Amino acid sequence: MTDVVVTGYGATTPLGGDAASTWDALLAGKSGVGITRGEFVEKFDLPVKISAQLAVEPTEVLPRVQARRMDRAEQVAMIAAREAWAHAGLAVEKGEEPKVDPERLAVVIGTGIGGVTTLLDQDDLLETGGLRKVSPLTVPMLMPNGPAAMVSLEVGARGGVHSPASACATGAEALAWAYRLLKAGEVDVVIAGGAEACISGLTVAGFVQARTLSQRNDDPEAASRPFDTKRDGFVLGEGAGIMVLERAEYAAARGATVHGRLAGIGLTSDAYHITGPDPEGTGQARAMVNAMRTAGISPSDVGHVNCHATSTVAGDVGETVAVRKAIGDHPVLTAPKSALGHLVGGAGAVEGIIAMLSVRDGIIPATRNLDELDPGVTLDVVSGEPRKMELSAAVNNSFGFGGHNASLVFTKV
């Protein structure tokens, strides 16, 4: 069966307005977390005053009229997709022939929550101004398939547009579905990933009430601290990550630069609790095992795990238990959410890019704020400085509310 290769990638995140600046900031040990810009924190007297907001506002990048027709989640998807598409060498000028047969090109881009800020804003307009004030663009802006659909229009994809929704596993699941489409030979190229922009009064309040967010308001950059004994919850972030994935033969025929191989995937579910992970980590371990099996590699080949680790008390240690069960004690771990915050539906795709770059460039970014490793974690977690390490394969984990477990294996070309 065909291999699946990565020929382009793009991102917009709290660390940078594109993939390169995000990667550089991550390696430099910077944090994307700060005091939340927005009136809602004060208005509702929310106990969480910090978040990881975008480094570059989408309206600074997108043409004004295009931006006003899109929800913020759609805007970040569009920005990351354009970067990835150009990076893959597939962008064309308006009126030029497309470089990929549109019917052999698919889009798989998901979001965890969808256009929630549009939903809330338009509901306010309905309440205060009545029907006439509601935008005719409300539905296309709030629908969860909006980011994928917008990108399909941009690149002219007619081979199917799909929008998985699996909360915080969405971005990784999207890459996994792209892998399946390519392996099945249904299309030649897929533009895939995840996008989220849901930092609003209601979502923050909801996460606060679920007791999941860090309240370290006095030191925002230290708030996201996966695996550290003093972690107290995750930091809500926003952004998008998009990859261009191709059948290896197709990429080779067009002479594309290949950055890595999405060698295997594992998608499993817990059926245990709607938000809490199975403490045995069975479903997570099965996702990793399935990803290694589909990649045709053994646990000893996996030198690194790019962890989901969000900085919640229960989740982080559980994941390491699952890693030990599935792979063993040897993989070196890192937790990029320590710097990025938690990009919800965007997280798995941005972190997939990071894991792939770690394999390509032989360097693992450090986990920020790891002052004292939780005694429940017996694995080697990179902290302080990035670690140079030759890697033949890395696993990237993403797990989501609802019991979704997604693991991806990236290997060297």
Partner 1 sequence: MADNAEILTGLAEIVEEVAGIDTAEVSADKSFVDDLDIDSLSMVEIAVQAEDKFGVKIPDEQLAELKTVGDAVDYISKNQ
CB 401 within 8 A of CB 275: yes
Output 86 or 134, the one with its CB closest to partner 1: 134
Output 43 or 64, the one with its CB closest to partner 1: 64
Q: Is residue 330 among the annotated active site residues?
A: no
Site residues (CB under 8 A) for partner 1? 63-66, 132-133, 135-137, 140
Output 75 or 411, the one with its CB closest to partner 1: 75
168, 198, 259, 404: which one is catalytic?
168
Q: Is residue 168 among the annotated active site residues?
A: yes
- The residues with which 350 forms a beta bridge, in sequence order, are none
Cα–Cα distances (Å) from 32 to 12, 25, 214, 352, in that order, read 12, 9, 15, 18
C-beta of 94: minimal distance to partner 1 in Å? 13
Q: Is residue 162 among the annotated active site residues?
A: no
**Of 181, 198, 21, 206, the residue nearest 105 (C-alpha):** 181
Output 64 or 388, the one with its CB closest to partner 1: 64
Output 139 or 258, the one with its CB closest to partner 1: 139
C-beta of 67: minimal distance to partner 1 in Å? 10
Q: 30 is written with which tokens?
A: 């910077």
Instruction: For residue 193, give the H/E element and its range.
Output: strand 189-196
**Of 151, 147, 153, the residue nearest 115 (C-alpha):** 147
Q: 88 is written with which tokens?
A: 């893959």
Alpha carbon distance 330, 324 (integer Å): 8
- The residues with which 13 forms a beta bridge, in sequence order, are 16
C-beta of 356: minimal distance to partner 1 in Å? 37
∠ CA 413-189-409, rounded to 5°: 40
C-beta of 393: minimal distance to partner 1 in Å? 47
C-beta of 132: minimal distance to partner 1 in Å? 6
Hey, which residues are catalytic here? 168, 308, 342
